[in-house]
Chain A
Amino acid sequence: MTTSVTQEDLPLTGIRVVDVATVIAAPYCAGILGEFGADVLKVEHPMGGDICRKYGTPTQRGDTLAWLSEARNKKSVTIDLHRREGVEVFKKLIEKADVLCENFRPGTLEKWGLPWETLHEINPGLIMLRVTGYGQTGPYKDRPGFARIAHAVGGIAYLSGMPKGTPVTPGSTTLGDYLTGIYGCLGVLMALRYREQTGLGQYIDAALYESVFRCTDELAPAYAMFGQVRERHGPTHNDFACPYGHFPTKEEGKWVAIACATDKLFERLAEAMGRPELASSSLYGDQKTRLENRHDVNEIVRDWCGSLTRDELLKRCYATGAPAGPLNNIADIFGDRQFHARRNLVSVDVPDLGETVIVPGVIPRLSETPGRIKHLGPKLGEHTDAVLQELLGLNSDEIAELHKKRVI
């Protein structure tokens, strides 16, 4: 744990979030809210729980590392929503909640007798984040969706890979989940603000493919106006700027990224290369000229990069302020001074595992109210009894009865 702010100081202290969602997208929204003080109750099926517990690399405890990291700060409460009594307990939780995160296929909550109208009636201030592959409306709303599919449908998978080659995963298969969790979280926070002014809750209808598509800069307007269909970029992206891409260094497997978005940045690169004349107006000083001669310019940069070790090349670029950086793998990241200085890697003890697990720290970084990680992903049902007793006022006999019937 990196910070020790008292809980009372955080922006979301006093906000209760019920996270009945699975895997990453909607739960990540709850995760961020929890880092900044919200009390997050993870409601899971008594048998097996959130499938995120099985997603990724298993630990000796059974739960995966992805679960430990992304279910940070949450309390696990098991309730079977397929059972009428489970639904009744859930409704009581909703009465006392501010935010509900869910990602069932459209119609599921309705089937359990928990449509928005009912939830809103139980708690008019409730804010609900609904995440699905395609959203709550439209012809594809009932199709199953994962981030992989959303990357494809939203247009970024098509752009990843060598020109005309097999399209590849755009770095990580879960990007669209995180992105949707973030947009959703922003929606929840805006809805909370609106509720404070009006008393009214609302729901946020988030679709994985939409968050992906929103991040495609001018892809849509360029097609609409000029009929231009953007193709796979390969290692370089020279639609707007050159040199702009990945270049191999002298060392096998070590690559650098260079991004000369403006003429001034190219000037600095030319200087780092010891060839300032390249940035003269008679040669490649203008972006337009560089784009017209992209093959020549890329070749010059590639030759230079190939003649140096990665460290030497980067040293020269940093000295002149040329925009360059290493293509880090995770081992590089663990050895990097900047990651350490910014505490981007946080070690958290997991007592029942007997291990320290390293997870990404809290983002964003607030100067007065930094977020915190109190603990990693809980064991299934770890907090069921405490929550039912303390929050909902059930007595131990009632709780025992529910356990016996496997409702919780």
Chain B
Amino acid sequence: MTTENSETETPLPETAATADASPSADEHESEARLPMTGIRVLDLGTFLAGPHAASVLGEFGAEVLKIEHPIAGDPMRRFGTPTKRHDATLAWLSEARNRKSVTLDLRQAEGVQLFLKLVAKSDVLIENFRPGTMEEWGLGWEVLSEANPRLIFLRVSGYGQTGPYRRRSGFAHIAHAFGGLSYLAGFPGETPVVPGTVPLGDYFSSLYGAIGIMLALRQREKTGRGQIIDVGIYESVFRQLDEIAASYGLFGKVREREGSGSFVAVPHGHFRTQDDKWIAIACTTDKMFERLAEAMERPELASSALYGQQRKRLAARNEVNQIVIEWVGSLPRSEVLERCLRCEVPVGKLNSIADIFEDEHFQARGNLVTLEEPGLGEVVIPGVVPRLSLTPGRIHNLGPALGDATYEIMRELLDISPDDIKRLRQRKII
């Protein structure tokens, strides 16, 4: 299967990563050597839950075809900050990276037939409709696996494919709540806030899905058969909550909101500096607290008579936090950081995105990748994660225009005649 340079009709002009430290240099040379080269992924999902799996596989060499409705396209194109490109928000540009867009109306019988032909030539299919939707279109697992017994099918939905709530609509925001994360974000007894970013659960569920795909690909090499990976967004959120289940199960302990702190360690939280900025300190172990006491020039605080043991610090949580609040509040942020870092205390700035853009470490690691997008100029997006030493991933294009590869795929992959393609276009099937 080819993955590159076969642009025909309405190609997007070549884009290239320009950040010098980005792992995407020499993309064409290394193309044949990436781990996912030769794998074709059909991304039938919308928004992010599921599609992010395709993004990571695409960064590592898979060919990703984004299958979209011919008129509407993925609603992600309209979600987020609009750009001068009428079919692309910034979120779409970043998160639909490395894809080719192919339009196909699955509500029409002929669209379904074409789709099955694509399935026959693909390795992985990703979808995130409400459970039952694919079946309504005549695209249940039996049909799909008959079209391609080797197919690996990732299904992501709010609640998974089974269980009493499977038909409910779910987004990460709901899944954070249902999975137990939102309840924990905020001050005790006060308003629960959004935990970090709204789509966190979309990323989690996609990544679990991608792991499932890799496992299934491996198994397929032994057996020749594909399988289904069923991921509920809520369960990928719940899986992150360390021992919350075990401690409720054994001790009946209901974890409550922790404000800016943590139930396991003190001091472990966010502190305001004299210049009204914020830092995080994480004294997970006694040794870390000893270093903090040293940075504060009050080594006696870490003595066994005072707060040397985590147990004692947890018992005297308010007193210990108050001491740290006062110390941090008496110094400007740069000074607190310098003193902490000198003593190797785990400390960090609470970075806003403006701070991140100025940060030398983000720059040195190439975490901000700049791509040139015609008509828009430079677009800066997060670089590839994870970072592989021998086969780094790469970003060769931002979110594509709607249907930019429809002709190419119909003509070259499915061998449909130009006349038929024209007819399919007129009938808005593609």
Assess A364 versus B211: contact at CB under 8 Å? Given A171-B195, A213-B382, A214-B382: yes
Chain B interface size, as a band, is 35 or more
Beyond A24-B242, A152-B279, A259-B174, is A241–B196 a contact (Cβ under 8 Å)?
no
Stretch at the interface among B131-139, B293-301, B352-360: B352-360
CB proximity to A under 8 Å, residues B323-361 = 341, 344-354, 356-357, 359-361
Partner of A213, one of B187, B216, B367: B367
Which residues does chain B contribute within 8 Å of A191, judged by CB atoms?
35, 388, 390-391
Would you call A64 and B243 a contact (CB within 8 A)? yes
Q: Is B183 an interface residue (CB 8 A)?
A: yes
With A144-B345, A338-B159 as known contacts, state yes or no: A182 contacts B208, CB within 8 Å: yes
**In the bound complex, do residue B390 and residue A184 qualify as a contact, i.e. CB atoms below 8 Å apart?**
no
Residue of A nearest to B23 (CB): A205
Q: Pick the contact of B215 from A36, A157, A359 — CB < 8 Å?
A: A36
Please give 18 more A-B residue pairs, beta carbons under 8 A apart, in addition to A240-B81, A330-B254. Answer: A32-B211, A160-B195, A160-B196, A190-B60, A191-B388, A193-B218, A213-B382, A218-B81, A220-B382, A224-B370, A234-B193, A327-B177, A330-B255, A342-B232, A345-B245, A357-B250, A360-B238, A366-B212
Shortest distance from the beta carbon of B383 to any chain A beta carbon, whole Å? 8
A360-B204 Cα distance, complex, nearest whole Å: 15
The docked-state distance in angstroms from the alpha carbon of A234 to that of B279 is 19
B70: interface (CB < 8 Å): no
Interface of B is mostly: mixed
| Docked-complex contact B250 and A148, CB < 8 angstroms | no
Q: Which 4 A-B pairs have the closest CB atoms?
A: A358-B249, A187-B386, A341-B163, A156-B196
A172-B184 CB under 8 A given contacts A135-B365, A345-B245: yes
Alpha-carbon separation in the docked complex, A303 to B262 (Å): 33
B278–A167 CB distance below 8 A: yes
A12 to B175 alpha-carbon distance, docked (Å): 30
Q: 10 A-B residue contacts at CB 8 Å?
A: A144-B346, A166-B278, A186-B386, A214-B203, A246-B193, A337-B163, A347-B249, A363-B231, A368-B219, A369-B216
Find chain B residues with CB under 8 A from A226 CB: 81
Q: State which of B81, B175, B191, B260 has its C-beta within 8 Å of the C-beta of A169.
A: B260
Let me know if A166 and B243 touch, CB within 8 A.
Answer: no
Q: Is the CB of B262 within 8 A of A148?
A: yes
Check A138/B361 contact, CB under 8 A, given A152-B280, A154-B351. yes
Interface centre among B164, B346, B389 (most CB of A within 10 A): B389
Q: From A253, which residue of chain B is reached at the shortest CB distance?
A: B189
Interface contact tally, CB-CB below 8 A: 516
Q: Are A241 and B194 in contact (CB under 8 A)?
A: no
From A66-74, A81-89, A382-390, the one touching the partner chain is: A66-74
Asked whether A325 lies within 8 Å of B178 as measured between CB atoms, the reply is yes
Residues facing A in B359-400 (CB within 8 A) are 359-362, 364-365, 367-368, 370, 376-382, 385-391
**Given A59-B250, A144-B288, A155-B353, do A218 and B245 touch, yes or no (CB 8 Å)?**
no
Whether A149 contacts B346 by the Cβ 8 Å rule is: yes
CB distance from A170 to the nearest CB of B (A): 4
Contact (Cβ within 8 A) A216 B218: no
Q: Please report which residues of chain A, range 17-51, place their CB below 8 angstroms from some CB of chain B when the two chains form the complex.
A: 23-24, 32, 36, 51
Q: Which of A107-115, A173-181, A276-284, A399-407 contacts B (4 or more CB under 8 A)?
A: A173-181
Q: Name which residue of chain A comes closest to B341, CB basis.
A: A143
**Are the C-beta atoms of B242 and A138 separated by less than 8 Å?**
no
Residues of A within 8 A of B193 (CB): 160-162, 168, 232-235, 246
- A262's nearest neighbour on chain B, judged by CB, is B75
Give bound CA distance, A47 to B279, whole Å: 34
Q: Kindly specify which of B9-17, B268-276, B404-412, B419-427 makes contact with the partner chain.
A: B268-276
Q: Are B89 and A218 in contact (CB under 8 A)?
A: yes
Q: Does B169 lie at the interface of the complex (its beta carbon under 8 Å from any beta carbon of A)?
A: yes
Q: Does B83 contact A (CB under 8 A)?
A: yes
A206 CA / B227 CA spacing, docked (Å)? 29
Contacts of A140 in B (CB 8 A): 361
Which chain B residues lie closer than 8 Å to A172 at the CB level? 181, 184, 195, 240-242
B253 touches A57 (CB 8 A): yes
CA gap between A338 and B16 in the complex, in Å: 46
Residue A56 is within 8 A (CB to CB) of chain B in the complex = yes
Which of B162, B164, B169, B219 lies in contact with A369, CB distance below 8 A? B219
Q: Is the CB of B217 within 8 A of A166?
A: no
A123 within 8 A of B: no
Task: Determine whether the beta carbon of A224 is less than 8 Å from that of B385.
Answer: no
Tell me if A392 is interfacial: C-beta within 8 Å of chain B: no
Interchain nearest-CB distance for B320 vs A (Å): 16
Q: Chain A residues with Cβ under 8 A from B174's Cβ?
A: 257, 259, 323-325
CA distance A231 to B197 in the complex (A): 11
Interface residues on A, range: 35 or more
A143 to B341, CA, bound (A): 7
Q: Is A146 part of the binding interface, using a Cβ–Cβ cutoff of 8 Å? A: yes
Decide if B285 is an interface residue (CB 8 Å cutoff).
Answer: yes
Q: Does A151 contact B (CB under 8 A)?
A: yes
Do A357 and B231 touch across chains, with their CB atoms under 8 A apart? Answer: no
Residues of B within 8 A of A217 (CB): 48, 80, 91, 94-95, 197-199
B160 with A210: CB separation less than 8 A = no
**Contact across chains for B194 and A173 when beta carbons are under 8 A apart:** no
B207 within 8 A of A: yes
The residues of A that contact B382 with a CB separation of less than 8 Å are 213-214, 216, 220
Q: Which of B159, B198, B379, B390 contacts A244, CB < 8 Å?
A: B198
Chain B contacts of A161 at CB under 8 A?
186, 193, 260
Alpha-carbon distance between A253 and B254 when the two chains are bound, in angstroms? 13
Closest to A364 in B: B212
What is the bound-complex CA distance between A160 and B195, given in angstroms? 6
B259 touches A169 (CB 8 A): yes
- Binary contact readout A354-395 vs B (1 if CB under 8 angstroms, 0 otherwise): 011111110111111100000000000000000000000000
Q: 8 Å CB contacts to B: which residues of A115-138?
A: 133-135, 137-138
A62 CB to nearest B CB, Å: 14
A219 at the interface (CB under 8 A from B): yes
A200 to B350: give the CA distance in the assembly, Å. 40
A297 located at the interface, meaning its Cβ lies under 8 Å from any Cβ of chain B in the complex? no
CB contact under 8 A between A224 and B269, given known A65-B246, A193-B36: no
> Interface 1/0s, chain B 73-93, versus A by CB < 8 A?
001000111010000011101
Q: A326 to B159: give the CA distance in the assembly, Å.
A: 13
Q: When the two chains form the complex, which single residue of A200, A262, A363 contacts B236, counting CB atoms closer than 8 Å?
A: A363
